[in-house]
């Protein structure tokens, strides 16, 4: 009898010990899960903050391909020193009919831009757009760099294959940078031409839509722009800046 009681008592103790042990393990697991949840929550909040910062940066027109981007805002007190000259004059039969703008580019350089636009089969009225882009991108400064974006049109070195194909080796050379920049711009223009008929209601003229897409593509990339248009976004702050700069262009009073 005593042996039976001792055995039963021992069994109860073993069961009780198992229960207590199980409770302790459960509490430890709960604590670990809670700590994991807190860690996940903290990581999520950190990622969310990073996403918010990226979105704000995107809205502020910071190129997505720059690892540590520097915002390119208007610098109202910036003064360009000197005039950007072309290496040689561009022959034209009707120079007397051509408008030259009061920007720090020589008439020959402005003729060069028109020639490159013509070579790329882009409309003549995109000349003013390119001038405005130069203002927004670099203030017409030829040796400015922003991450991997260089020169008067801030062409990115990620376009290495294109640069090699065009024979561009020095983006601080304004003619080479313009040659590359207009080639990249043409891709966006062609994208706009292709997309425009597919949009039922973009709320603007066909020409304005195509120009907006061309500018968006130049700033955010070809495929990024396709995604934006698919989401119903047909303009960005960059587009607005360029259009504002176009409105401020003034024709030279004398050549």
For the chain, give every domain's residue range: 1-59, 73-248
**Over pLDDT 70: what percentage of the chain?**
62
Q: Give pLDDT, residue 33.
A: 44
Band (47; pLDDT cuts 50, 70, 90): very low
pLDDT in tens, 169-198: 999 999 999 999 999 999 999 999 999 999
Residue 253 has what pLDDT? 81
Asked whether residue 81 carries a pLDDT value surpassing 80, the answer given is: no
Three-state DSSP at 75 gives coil
Question: Residues near 83 by Cβ (< 8 Å), separated by ≥ 6?
Answer: 104, 105, 106
Task: Answer yes or no: is pLDDT of 15 > 70.
Answer: no
The answer on pLDDT for 95 being more than 90 is: no
What's the token pair of residue 158? 């990620």
**Range 73-248 has CATH code 1.10.530:** yes
pLDDT tens column, 148-172: 999 999 999 999 999 999 999 999 9
Percent of the chain clearing pLDDT 90 (strictly above): 60
Tokens of 28: 């430890």
Strand order in 145-146's β-sheet?
Answer: 145-146, 149-150, 155-156
* Count of residues making up the chain: 255
What DSSP state is assigned to residue 141?
A: -
Is pLDDT larger for residue 219 or for residue 26?
219
Give the whole-angstrom CA distance, residue 186 versus residue 117.
Answer: 9
How does pLDDT run across 213-244, given as a tens digit for each residue?
Answer: 999 999 999 999 999 999 999 999 999 999 99
**177 touches 137 (CB < 8 A):** no
Beta-sheet pairing, 145-146 with 155-156: unpaired
Chain centroid to CA 249: 24
Please return the burial class of 161, using the count of CB atoms within 10 Å of its CB with bins 0-12, 13-18 and 19+.
Answer: exposed
């Amino acid at each position: 009898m005593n042996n039976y009681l001792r055995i039963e008592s021992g069994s109860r103790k073993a069961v009780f010990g198992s229960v207590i042990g199980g409770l302790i393990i459960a509490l430890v697991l709960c604590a670990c899960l809670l700590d994991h949840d807190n860690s996940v929550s903290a990581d999520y909040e950190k990622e969310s903050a990073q996403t918010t910062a990226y979105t704000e940066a995107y809205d502020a027109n910071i190129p997505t391909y720059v690892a540590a981007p520097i915002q390119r805002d208007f610098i109202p007190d910036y003064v360009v020193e000197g005039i950007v000259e072309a290496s040689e004059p561009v022959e034209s039969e009707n120079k007397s009919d051509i408008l030259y703008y009061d920007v720090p580019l020589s008439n020959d350089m402005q003729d060069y831009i028109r020639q490159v636009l013509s070579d790329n089969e882009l409309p003549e009225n995109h000349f003013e757009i390119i001038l405005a882009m130069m203002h927004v991108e670099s203030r017409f400064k030829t040796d400015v760099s922003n991450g991997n974006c260089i020169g008067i049109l801030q062409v990115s070195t990620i376009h290495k294959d294109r640069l090699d194909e065009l024979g561009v080796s020095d983006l601080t050379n304004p003619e080479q940078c313009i040659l590359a920049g207009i080639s990249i711009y043409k891709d966006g223009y062609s994208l706009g031409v292709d997309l425009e008929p597919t949009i039922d209601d973009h709320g603007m003229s066909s020409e304005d839509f195509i120009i907006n897409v061309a500018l968006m593509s130049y700033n955010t990339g070809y495929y990024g722009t396709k995604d934006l248009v698919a989401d119903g976004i047909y303009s960005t702050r960059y587009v607005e800046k360029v259009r504002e700069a176009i409105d401020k262009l003034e024709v030279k009073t004398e050549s």
